[in-house]
């Protein structure tokens, strides 16, 4: 039996149950018997039932759009996160739109305000590097729509969060350098107000402390951004020091690659004269000579889990105020030839 205009009432009539029972079964309502849910879904499939999204959106005063806000999409990390999100959302009746904040707090606020007026169903967001206040996120939540923060934490904001263990990843990278014989390890960090930057810095510092190596403030330089170009000047400054480092841990791969380029210009051998490790394990990192040792993040998995958490709240028509999920992914050190062997 097929009908492009099949309704919940049609399914209910066939099964001799109420329309509300069918509606709840299609939403996997926990109070119904599994057998009832199974029968309803099977018949709905045979009858080619399709929910009336227009009617649903009018009732809930929301559309079927999910927004993804990222600071940039040129690199592998965020594009892979978005792919993970898309692969989850593709199996639903929702669509995604991608918005770029370009690392601008003002633009991020404007995007959130526009999306609120558009009555979208929910937002997945990696905050910009200039975002220090979270009132725009709180206002969006107050309007009744769910929000998931991913990659970059917003300390003090109550929300669902999907993050990476940046501290452990950095600690493991620096400890590897120590175990390989490096004793003068420098760190090129990122924008200071980001938790990713501060956690990776702390991992670096604690690895040195726990292995009884001194902390040299001259060896810690923060770049103004996260691009290859942003890493050139800090790398140059490190190699101009009288007591040059024998290893550099970059806050990301692009910064680490900038350090590699700078070292090569100075005719330094990698890793014999200086070992270099990055963070992110972007695909191109393995194609450089020497190939870059890097900390791998499960970016695709971050996107998938973030989308699933958001969709669950949308499906259950809830915007939680307590009991938020806080998920942290582990990293993996991928050892290549830019660092000495242990």
| Under 8 Å between Cβ of 210 and 174 | no
Residues 187 and 261 grouped into a single domain? yes
Residues 290 and 225 grouped into a single domain? yes
Residues 261 and 292 grouped into a single domain? yes
pLDDT mean values, one per 10 residues, the chain (342 residues): 70 88 82 86 85 54 87 93 97 95 97 91 96 96 92 96 98 98 98 96 98 97 96 98 98 98 97 98 93 98 98 81 90 98 94
Residue 91 contacts by C-beta under 8 Å, 6 or more apart in sequence? none
pTM beyond 0.85, yes or no? no
Residues 181 and 288 grouped into a single domain? yes
Residues 282 and 214 grouped into a single domain? yes
Q: What is the dihedral of CA 332, 198, 156, 160, to 10 degrees?
A: -20
pLDDT tens digits, 2-59 = 445 788 888 888 889 898 898 888 878 777 888 888 888 998 888 888 776 555 554 4
In a domain, 206, yes or no: yes
In a domain, 285, yes or no: yes
pLDDT tens digits, 256-299 = 999 999 999 999 999 999 999 999 999 999 999 999 999 999 99
Torsion angles phi and psi, residue 122, rounded to 5: 180, 165
Residues 128 and 28 grouped into a single domain? no
Q: How many residues does the chain have?
A: 342
């Amino acid at each position: 039996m097929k009908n492009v205009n099949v309704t919940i009432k049609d399914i209910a009539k066939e099964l001799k149950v109420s329309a509300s029972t069918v509606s709840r079964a299609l939403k996997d309502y926990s109070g119904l018997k599994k057998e009832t849910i199974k029968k309803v879904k099977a018949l709905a499939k045979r009858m080619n039932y399709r929910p009336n999204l227009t009617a649903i959106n009018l009732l809930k005063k929301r559309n079927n759009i999910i927004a993804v806000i990222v600071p940039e999409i040129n690199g592998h990390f965020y594009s892979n996160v978005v792919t993970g999100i898309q692969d989850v959302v593709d199996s639903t009746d929702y669509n995604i739109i991608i918005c770029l904040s370009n690392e601008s707090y003002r633009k991020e606020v404007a995007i959130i305000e526009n999306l609120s007026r558009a009555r979208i169903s929910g937002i997945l967001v990696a905050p910009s590097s200039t975002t220090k206040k979270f009132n725009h996120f709180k206002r969006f939540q107050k309007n009744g729509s769910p929000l998931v923060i991913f990659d970059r934490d917003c300390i003090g904001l109550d929300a669902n969060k999907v993050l990476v263990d940046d501290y452990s990843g950095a600690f493991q990278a620096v400890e590897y350098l120590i175990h390989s014989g490096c004793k003068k390890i420098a760190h090129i960090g990122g924008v200071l107000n980001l938790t990713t930057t501060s956690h990776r810095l702390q991992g670096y510092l604690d690895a040195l402390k726990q292995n009884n190596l001194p902390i040299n403030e001259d060896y810690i330089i923060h770049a103004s951004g996260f691009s290859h170009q942003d890493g050139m000047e800090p790398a140059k400054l490190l190699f101009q020091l009288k007591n040059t480092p024998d290893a550099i841990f970059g806050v990301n791969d692009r910064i680490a690659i900038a350090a590699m380029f700078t070292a090569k210009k100075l005719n330094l051998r990698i890793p014999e004269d200086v070992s270099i490790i990055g963070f992110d394990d972007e695909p191109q990192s393995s194609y450089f000579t020497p190939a870059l040792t890097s900390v791998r993040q499960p970016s695709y998995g971050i996107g998938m889990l973030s989308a699933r958490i958001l969709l669950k709240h949308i499906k259950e028509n809830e915007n939680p105020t307590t009991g938020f999920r806080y998920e942290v992914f582990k990293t993996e050190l991928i050892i290549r030839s830019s660092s000495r062997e242990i």
